[in-house]
Structure 1
Amino acid sequence: MMKKSILAGTALFLTIAPFAAGAANAASPAPAPAAHAIAKSVKQGSFVSASVERKADGKLVIHWHTDADLGAAKVYWSTNPDGGWKELVRTYTNYGGYVTEDPNPGSRVYFKVKGGNGAEIKTAERKLPLKGTTNFRDLGGYQTSDGRTVKWGKLFRADELAGLTPDDIAYLQKSGLKTDVDYRTDAEIAAKPDPAIPGVTYVKDQVFQDTGSGTDIMAVLAAGQFDQLGKPGAMLVDANRQMVDHPDAYVKLFDLMLDPNTSALVQHCTAGKDRTGLGSALMLLALGVPKQTVVDDFLLTNTYRADYNKAAVDVMVKQFNVTDPTAVDVIQAMMDVRPEYIYAAFDEMQKNYGSIAGFLEKGLGLTKAEQAKLQQMYLE
């Protein structure tokens, strides 16, 4: 593999890990707009969307939107998205929301809102309230092209997990998590191994091979030779193409998804943005979620990691005495997710397989029957 390709692969983790100490002191990311869950339509009207946002004081704000006044409403909660619902409050759908204390602190909580006409919708916090990560989130609640919804509490994406606290680990145990899929290299894992989570199986699923070229990147940064990294964002555009061209890790991901014994699962890398971003995109696309929704989820990382990324860029600029604005742009682009990154992957699928669907079937070996099984497992 050419040196440029090697650098592109390693940039996904090496631009972040060396600066964790400086960036860790930044404030936690501001809550992002929670993504929406979609309800089944009913003749008299239906819920259009719902979301949950956690405030700084720990209270939960449940929002919902309807296409008509559905009359009285009942709000339920459960630690299991598939059942065990307990009534929380009776209110009215035209209020559009409800603020509540966390009904079960320390555990994953799901909500269901039911209108007077029988229409209902499920929702939950998109980003899990964990102390030791910045980007651990649920892929549930997204609507598919045929009107179904990705189940909550089954598919998660995250950044590195080395900082999980004992309370975080207990939270994940109670969430029903079964599998931890780690996309990182041996070097990354050795530096920051995942903690053991009782009841959760750890699976190493390396996207890029260890190349030993991390020192090259650090040397480039230290020498100020940013022109070797190309234009801002070019490295990650190339990396996304590489991941499509060498998709073995994602083949393994779908094998795990298809096995009921290994789902629910979290897949993660270091920042939870590039390797995990493509993995999440492929999962949602295979379930029938529209491309634009997939792109929106990909870009949501910028919101959750905004404060962390700003602190990390500041540390890098100071450490390497960077004064050239273009060089700063290169560093910022390495920390961001941008539409052109994920579209580079889509374009590579189109070029090599004719379409995204062609890549799923031929590039990943995911048959139509297997895609139907995935949809049966993860949609409602």
Structure 2
Amino acid sequence: MENRVLPLSGIHNFRDYGGYRARGGTLRTGHLWRSGHHFDATPDDLEAVHRIGIARVIDLRGDSERAQFPCLRHEEWAGQVVFHPGETAGDHGKAVHDEAAAGVRTADDARYAMVKLYDKLPFRPVLVGTFKLYLQTLAADHGPSLLHCFAGKDRTGVGAAIVHRLLGVHADDVMADYLLTNTAGNSEARIAAAATNVRASFGPKMTDDALRTIMSVQPEFLDSAFAAMEREHGRFEAYAEAVLGADAALVARLEERLVV
């Protein structure tokens, strides 16, 4: 699992989420990448990312986040950034984990808040709009893509898991890829970097364990998102088609392009 992680200094949680067994074969490697934002990317980071040849970046952040934390790109990069305009987090300029941190004091508070957050993520209009563009982008033959949000764990985690589920990746592998956030690269640096914003808003009111829970991923978080999809639509596939436009034709195009 760790071999799929690209170790970088200023971009956290950068990794390949291909390579898993899927329906009819194996997901291609080197074509599906995910990460946190690139606001703090170093020149060496940008060079390493440039060598991958990413053609499309799907940015799950909101407009305010993009304005406050503009991503750095290699000077020779000529790809396209894809997003639906608007806000994907409730508090403008903040990531969704910042939003969940409101009122949190203990680790139990944090777990409850994150489960509640994930219950709503699959239905946020602007996030849904970008998820639709994400699937359409993957279904077209553009080349390698990168999916990211702020920390690369919540909105990105749900997005990557949606693609895995659509392509028949085993539930254990879907969860394993999601949980890899907790150990991918320098997880302590990732927590410290994102915690700055959380501490700025909530400071000493939040315990260290609560902060770590907010900045981690846990199985019950992702389970909450898929349970919400099934609660509203009966089956994940029905949610994907009705909400994300992932009908049989689009899924077939995803399989043709991404499964070998």
Interval of TM-score (by shorter of Structure 1 and Structure 2): 0.7 to 0.9
Counterparts of 1:39-118 in structure 2 under 5 Å?
Answer: none
Partner-residue secondary structure (3-state), 1:270: coil
**1:169 paired to 2:46:** yes
Counterparts of 1:128-277 in structure 2 under 5 Å?
Answer: 128-146=6-24, 148-197=25-74, 198-205=77-84, 208=88, 211-212=91-92, 226=104, 231-246=109-124, 247-261=128-142, 263-277=143-157
> Greater strand percent: which structure?
1
Contact 2:55 2:78 (C-alpha < 8 Å) held by counterparts: yes
The alpha carbon displacement at 1:180 in A equals 1.3
User: For residue 99 of structure 1, what is the aligned residue in structure 2?
Assistant: none
The alpha carbon displacement at 1:131 in A equals 2.7
The alpha carbon displacement at 1:300 in A equals 0.5
Q: Map Cα deviations across residues 203-236 of structure 1 (whole Å, 9 max, x no partner).
A: 234661564486xx98x98xx9536998222222
The alpha carbon displacement at 1:265 in A equals 0.8
TM-score under structure 2 normalisation?
A: 0.83
The alpha carbon displacement at 1:127 in A equals 0.9
Counterparts of 1:208-357 in structure 2 under 5 Å?
Answer: 208=88, 211-212=91-92, 226=104, 231-246=109-124, 247-261=128-142, 263-304=143-184, 306-308=187-189, 311=192, 320-322=203-205, 327-357=207-237
Q: Structure 1, unaligned stretches of length 5 or more?
A: 1-32, 35-124
Partner-residue secondary structure (3-state), 2:34: strand
Aligned residues: 248
The alpha carbon displacement at 1:349 in A equals 1.2
* Paired amino acid for 1:245: F
The alpha carbon displacement at 1:254 in A equals 0.7
* Paired amino acid for 2:57: D
User: For residue 250 of structure 2, what is the aligned residue in structure 1?
Assistant: 370
- Cα 1:166/1:145, change in 2 over 3 Å: same
Contact 1:313 1:332 (C-alpha < 8 Å) held by counterparts: no
The alpha carbon displacement at 1:310 in A equals 5.6
Contact 1:173 1:199 (C-alpha < 8 Å) held by counterparts: no
Partner-residue secondary structure (3-state), 1:174: helix
> Greater helix percent: which structure?
2
Range with greater deviation from structure 2 (335-344 or 137-146): 137-146
Q: Structure 2, unaligned stretches of length 5 or more?
A: none
The alpha carbon displacement at 1:188 in A equals 1.7
The alpha carbon displacement at 1:330 in A equals 2.9
Contact 1:184 1:205 (C-alpha < 8 Å) held by counterparts: no
Contact 1:138 1:156 (C-alpha < 8 Å) held by counterparts: yes
Partner-residue secondary structure (3-state), 1:156: strand
Q: Map Cα deviations across residues 86-132 of structure 1 (whole Å, 9 max, x no partner).
A: xxxxxxxxxxxxxxxxxxxxxxxxxxxxxxxxxxxxxxx40113332
The alpha carbon displacement at 1:281 in A equals 0.4
Partner-residue secondary structure (3-state), 1:307: helix
* Paired amino acid for 2:135: F
The percentage of counterpart residues that share the same residue type is: 27
Contact 2:64 2:93 (C-alpha < 8 Å) held by counterparts: no
Contact 1:136 1:159 (C-alpha < 8 Å) held by counterparts: yes
Structure with more contact order per residue of length (Cα contacts < 8 Å, sep ≥ 6): 2
Distance 2:245 2:218 in 1: 28
Distance 2:92 2:244 in 1: 28
Partner-residue secondary structure (3-state), 1:321: helix
Distance 1:310 1:276 in 2: 16
Distance 1:168 1:278 in 2: 25
* Paired amino acid for 1:321: P
- In angstroms, what is the RMSD of aligned CA positions? 3.1
Contact 2:17 2:33 (C-alpha < 8 Å) held by counterparts: yes
The alpha carbon displacement at 1:329 in A equals 3.6
Distance 2:32 2:69 in 1: 23
